[in-house]
Structure 1
Amino acid sequence: MTTGDIPRDRLDAVQANIARAAKRAGREPADITLIAISKTHGADAVRPLIAAGQRVFGENRVQEAQDKWPGLKEETPGIELHLVGQLQSNKAEDAVALFDAIHGVDRPSLIKALAKAFEKTGRRPRLFVQVNIGEEEQKGGCAIADLPDLLACASDAGLEIAGLMCIPPQGLEPAPYFALLAKLAADNDVRLLSMGMSSDYETAIMCGATHVRVGMALFGTRG
């Protein structure tokens, strides 16, 4: 295997795993979106994966994405960019201008800022509420008990919440947390589920994930 084959081989392997997990769950692989998490990787590391056919990418910092992605998007039309990290309210307008989906909606003040940004820019990225599924003090995300109120806040602001997102506690079996997020989505009539990373995306698919966020399995060690 030559160096030039590595990104394509990694992408093929992840896609094969997604297809296998989907089949086991009685689902269609086409219903699962692979988000390649390109945070900390420069444009030169991203281009080979684009050349291999990947079109959906994720970043966790607005500034890094602003530096990296306008040029890459110009080179390759059809790129879809997701913000998967926490978003400061004062960066809402910049995020709305650049990203096609925002996964870190977690508080009323951010909803207010996003509503203003939607109106000003005319863009409406898909929104995911991040749920603190393990009730961990050190993690961002909406508390489970506060989810209905936050969804109502978004509705009142004229924003549609497309999905829920979570990061299970590290070192614990993720399946119960994925199952809980799926139940919360069903109970609150939310359609999409952003859950699962390089170590557990197949489990997430078995639990209903519609979007999986895979970095290391595609890029190797972070840049």
Structure 2
Amino acid sequence: MLPKSHLAASDAMESSADMSDQIAENLSLIRSRIIHACEISGRSASDVGLVAVSKFHPKEAVEAALKAGQRVFGENRVQEATSKFPDLRHTWPDLRLHIIGGLQTNKAVDACRIADVIETLDRPALADALEKAADKVGRLPELLVQVNTGNEPQKSGVPRDDADPFIKTCMTRFGPKVRGLMCIPPEDEDPAAHFRFLTDLARRHGLPVISMGMSADFETAIAEGATLVRVGSAIFGTRPMTAS
């Protein structure tokens, strides 16, 4: 009979293999749904990128997605991203990391060091912090302006009425580093109108990247013009419980 330690190790290996298989299967399904949504909308599937939202999931889950061919990931917290991604880049140098959560100004330096894209530029104070951080570390990630399309007080994002002047200011300040816009519609409203608003806003400013749509509504987002969709639970499963 095998010792308990050997049994535990065997169980862990099987659990890891099961997780990898499930994530690969989920990714395949999401990619198929993206292709189908693009076909229905008369768009090319190559015009829509997938950001796999790995927040609160372990590095092993990210590694499983990488092995399944996924290369773009989204994290809410800079500190969590720092604990996962630097080591993974050595093996997968084409990995790209997006910061998709509200960014505190005191995390701007770390964000500029680790991120390829910051999707949550939403206020002048953060623009100031990012400019200083970029000067300090010698690099500035690509930037998306987050728009609070529902004007929800609990959410990050520049208010709708302030979006145009803020976008113009950011484009003047950061030039081509400002690549597009991002939004998270209210949960209790039809997201389609919010997606249309963001697409119109991006086109008005000549911005090519439109990040919108998550696990529950990314197909609607694609129909309304999304070029990036952010999918988490449909790939990685329910988020593990974490300390608040």
TM class, shorter-length: over 0.9
Equivalent residue letter for 1:208? G
Q: Which has the larger radius of gyration?
A: 2
TM-score for both structures, normalised by structure 2: 0.87
TM-score for both structures, normalised by structure 1: 0.95
Residue 206 of structure 1, aligned match among 210, 213, 223: 223
CA displacement 1:117-166 (0-9 Å, x = unmatched): 22222223110011000111111100111112212322342343211100
Please name the residue that 1:175 is paired with: 192
Equivalent residue letter for 1:220? G
Asked if 1:134 is matched to 2:150, the reply is yes
Asked if 1:164 is matched to 2:190, the reply is no
CA displacement 1:46-85 (0-9 Å, x = unmatched): 2111111100000000001111111111232210000000
Please name the residue that 1:14 is paired with: 30
* Aligned-residue CA RMSD (Å): 1.5
CA contact (8 A) 1:32 1:211 kept: yes
Equivalent residue letter for 2:219? E
Please name the residue that 1:145 is paired with: 161
CA contact (8 A) 2:19 2:61 kept: no
State the 1:12 CA deviation.
Answer: 0.6
Asked if 1:69 is matched to 2:85, the reply is yes
Equivalent residue letter for 1:203? T
Please name the residue that 1:93 is paired with: 109
SS in 1 for 2:222: helix
- Cα distance in 2 for partners of 1:48, 1:81 equals 16
Asked if 1:35 is matched to 2:90, the reply is no
Residues 3 and 92 of structure 1: is their aligned pair in 2 closer, same or farther, counting only changes over 3 Å? closer
Residues 4 and 61 of structure 1: is their aligned pair in 2 closer, same or farther, counting only changes over 3 Å? closer
Give % identity.
46
- Cα distance in 2 for partners of 1:4, 1:158 equals 40
Q: Structure 1: which 5+ residue stretches go unaligned?
A: none
Asked if 1:55 is matched to 2:71, the reply is yes
Please name the residue that 1:196 is paired with: 213
- Cα distance in 2 for partners of 1:77, 1:161 equals 23
SS in 1 for 2:158: coil
- Cα distance in 2 for partners of 1:63, 1:158 equals 25
Once superposed, which parts of structure 1, at least 4 consecutive aligned residues long, lie more than 6 Å away?
A: none
Please name the residue that 1:185 is paired with: 202
- Cα distance in 2 for partners of 1:180, 1:31 equals 19
SS in 2 for 1:199: coil
Equivalent residue letter for 1:72? L
